[in-house]
Structure 1
Amino acid sequence: MIVFDLECRAGGHRFEGWFASSEDFASQQGGGLVTCPTCGAPEVEKALSAPRLTRKGNQLPAVSAKPRAETAQSVASGPLPPEAVAMLKAVAAVQTEMLKSSTWVGENFAEDARAMHYGEKDHAMIHGRASPAEVQGLIEEGVPVAPVIVPVVPPGEVN
């Protein structure tokens, strides 16, 4: 995966985008699939950024003996201000509560959402996976969809 710093030309909003390759970004951009998450504008370009260099495998730092929860907390609160950490925790809590009354439909998300929109299925709260192209198609058809803000581990994939 490659992480690009992107910039919305319409509003000057900056954000990150993850792509399989530079060609994948160009293909998605050319197909109108890359849009600003703040204002929805399709005029998105790569922003100037410093390269992200990683260590070689033989230069990895020593593994810490900290418990896993403490390590996750130190990573989450590292560069973020405490207010941002609190906000993210609140968003995660609200999402967790919403997902309790939602059904995981996996790869059938786009098909099920569309069927509910057109009255072919009873309306219900669902969540699942959809490709950027499927999401774009749903949006163009007026099907109400929203991203899951905090990543969700699908049922059956928990180790």
Structure 2
Amino acid sequence: MIRYALKCDQNHMFESWFQNAAAYDGLRAAGHVTCPECGSAKVEKSLMAPKVRPARSVATAPVAANPATPTTLAAPSSEIEAEIARLRARVEAESEYVGGSFAREARAMHLGDAPERSIYGEAKLADARELLEDGVPVMPLPFTPTRKSN
């Protein structure tokens, strides 16, 4: 496993783990590496210093925070982040999480094959485009759902 510091075209910094460098390259080329703040797929590796553990005999000094290290998304640091956190809480409280079957569920509701309700989940970019082209009212959320389906 390898951890990369990443940055999107909107200068949002975040980290993510990948199986190896080739896995990162493949996922990025397919558009699956996206910014958790804005959803942009224009993501590049950022400068990252390796973490090296000191020798056992050397006294450990406190490590200063690296300013290039992305901040955690748990604590909003701006009004827009706080607003996104409020939106996330509302969506998760008032909608049904359908995971990777979002495109199928949205299409079924649009065609009248399933009861209408508020849903959220994940969809591949191609599936989302098809939904929009077919007139299904969907929109991307400015956050990644906390619940994931495997």
TM bracket, shorter-chain basis: 0.5 to 0.7
**Unaligned residue ranges in structure 2 (runs of 5+):** 17-22, 32-37, 55-61, 66-70
Please tell me the residue identity of whatever aligns with 2:46.
R
**Of the candidates 86, 89, 105, which is equivalent to residue 112 of structure 1?**
105
Alignment length (residue pairs): 118
TM-score normalized by structure 1? 0.54
Residue 59 (structure 2) aligns with: none
- What is the alpha-carbon distance in structure 2 between the residues aligned to residue 101 and residue 109 of structure 1? 16
Structure-2-length-normalised TM-score? 0.57
Matches within 5 A, 1:5-154: 6=9, 20-21=24-25, 24-25=28-29, 52-58=46-52, 62=63, 72=72, 76-77=76-77, 85-154=78-147
CA deviation string 1:123-158 (max 9, x = no partner):
11001111112112111111111122122211689x
CA drift of 1:91 comes to 2.7
Would the aligned equivalents of 2:96 and 2:118 in 1 still touch at CA under 8 Å?
Answer: yes
Unaligned runs of 5+ in 1: 7-13, 29-36, 38-45, 65-70, 78-84
Runs of 4+ off more than 4 Å? 1-6
Of the two structures, which has the highest relative contact order with CA contacts closer than 8 Å and spacing of 6 or more? Answer: 2
The alignment-based identity, stated in percent, is: 24
Distance across 2 between alignment mates of 1:96 and 1:124: 17
Larger % of helix: which?
1
